[in-house]
Amino acid sequence: MGENNGRTGGQIAINAARAGKALANIMKSAAAGGVQGAAVAAAKEFVPELVKLAIGIMIVLIVIPIVVMSAVPNIFFGFKSSSVPEVSSMTGKAADIGSTYFNIEQFEDTEIDSVVTSIASDYAENGAEIEEIIVENDFTEEDLLWLIAISSVSNEQDLNIMSTGGVQQMSASRLLYDDRLEGTTLTVTITRIEPETWMEQLGFTDEAKTWTRALHETILKSSVLEKYADQYETTRPSYSGDTGYSGSYERGEDYDNMIDISGFTHPETKNAHDLAAYAIQAWENGWGYVWGSYGNVLTPALFEYKLRQYPDGVGNYESFIRENWLGRRTADCIGLIKGYGWLDAETLTIQYGTNGMPDYGANQMHSSAIQSGLAHGSIATIPEIPGLGLWKNGHAGVYIGGGYAIEAMGTKYGVVKTEVAGRGWEEWYEIPSIEY
């Protein structure tokens, strides 16, 4: 993003504190309404020549809110931290959302990967021979800045209604793609919606558009993302799965790529019982593990594409995957769950992004469940309900009852059966889009 041509977010906050009453009113508006309406308050308090200062404050409140929520008590009132539950809750949400912003490129890679995987799988299931997959996309770093500005304004800069899932879905909505098969080469072209078009589609008023453009410009010139990126450093996912596990597990004894729904109770719905049955079938049939897959058959062309997409997590296990998983159905941990959600019970094909099942990572799926008010709790309190989701940081599994789980554990394990006790699971939860 180049050199810092203006004040950083922290400098803006400190200088703004000295402005006195105007900033105090903005902060009161933010605290009272969960940041809702703070932008409006800023616009009222500051004269036109200070609009960028007001926007800078919004950057601090929205783009890097976790930094400010921990610093605001000290800046304004001399306190080191705040014990107010509402502020603490908002801080947690801000951290979650901020991490999404700062890792959006990784998300877009995953999103594009899911789209490409789906297209390639559809061609393969229809009998097409594909030897090479080429992906073309024109995303740039500036798209991240537009996402921050548009997402913040579209949610009225209210952290109470913003969520990682919402930000991710908004980013996904920008993806437009076209595919063509020429000989044995599949080319997928990804394009994005231009910001002005995107704001039109979201029904932005002229005032909202102006605020969005100003917010985008200020983020761009302040280099605030570079300054505070370390505040949102999250553990990068292990593309090879839970490779550090040394406990006991069971592998399935069969090998079959067929999907059988004869044991489903209600194939026309997405429900907990059938999710458990689907997971058990994946285990029994010896499904493998490859990052970014969700029940597809790993064809040679798809595997080569994954190698280019993830040269470390997949590439480091190239020989193992070729010997064990090539030609089989594979899934990563959350892909096992999403694959069931996207399964078409009539055609028995997995159709990406269908049936209301979101394309979330393991942490985002768990976070979305909590933010949506779905039942959840510590692993010690898990009820006897097969089909519940299991979560620990960066990993997901499916509870099948009797104290056991099915999980796509990692590249060297595939889909396995494990005991819940002692596995390190932190929480159980009801999975979004699944009936319980």
Tokens of 412: 């060297």
Bridge-partner residues for 186, per DSSP?
133, 181
Nearest to 277 by CA among 264, 258, 266, 294: 264
CB atoms within 10 A of CB 384: 9
Element (H, E) at 410: strand 404-410
Burial grade of 223 (CB within 10 A; 0-12, 13-18, 19 or more): middle
Contact 394, 362 (CB under 8 A): yes
294: amino acid identity, one letter: Y
pLDDT digits (tens, 9 = 90+) for 171-186: 777 778 899 999 999 9
Delimit the domains of the chain by residue range: 9-93, 101-232, 250-429
- Kindly indicate the confidence band of residue 379, based on its pLDDT and cuts at 50, 70 and 90: very high
Please give the model's pTM, rounded to 2 decimal places. Answer: 0.76
> What is the distance between the alpha carbons of residues 30 and 37, in angstroms, rounded to a whole number?
7
Is 328's pLDDT higher than 70? Answer: yes
State the pLDDT at residue 230: 64
Burial of 236-255, coded b for 16+ CB within 10 Å and e otherwise, reads ebbbbbbeebeeebeebeee
Is 73's pLDDT higher than 70? Answer: no
- Kindly indicate the confidence band of residue 83, based on its pLDDT and cuts at 50, 70 and 90: low
> What is the distance between the alpha carbons of residues 39 and 62, in angstroms, rounded to a whole number?
10
Contact 162, 151 (CB under 8 A): yes
79 three-state secondary structure: coil
Is 204's pLDDT higher than 90? Answer: yes
CATH architecture of 250-429: Alpha-Beta Complex (3.90)
